[in-house]
Amino acid sequence: MRSNLLVFMLMSISLASMFNDGLDTTYAWYGTAPFCFPEDCPDGWTFVKNDDKGDGSTCWIGEKTLCKFVDAHNDE
């Protein structure tokens, strides 16, 4: 049973590395409950969506903004 788990884990790691596109993506929520005033994403970041809960407490007013930053890195 242990050997099956080890094989599964190694195959999962191998598959994940095969599909790595060389990009690191970071996500961040902007806006603080309970008063979430709309915010623009920082320079270099891209808007993803707005949500009244986001990553935690619910907004009484407004919405939080989810932004993403994609960093292309070189593995050479």
* Count of other CB atoms within 10 angstroms of residue 25: 10
In a domain, 56, yes or no: yes
How far apart (Å, rounded) are the C-alpha atoms in residues 38 and 47?
Answer: 12
Q: For 30-68, how does the pLDDT look when each residue is reduced to its tens digit (9 = 90+)?
A: 999 999 987 899 999 999 999 999 989 999 999 999 999
Residue 28 confidence (pLDDT): 94
In a domain, 10, yes or no: no
In a domain, 8, yes or no: no
In terms of residue numbers, what domain contains 58?
Answer: 20-72
Residue 71 confidence (pLDDT): 85
Q: Given pLDDT bands bounded at 50, 70 and 90, which one contains residue 15?
A: very low
**Domains: count for the chain:** 1
pLDDT of 10 > 70? The answer is no
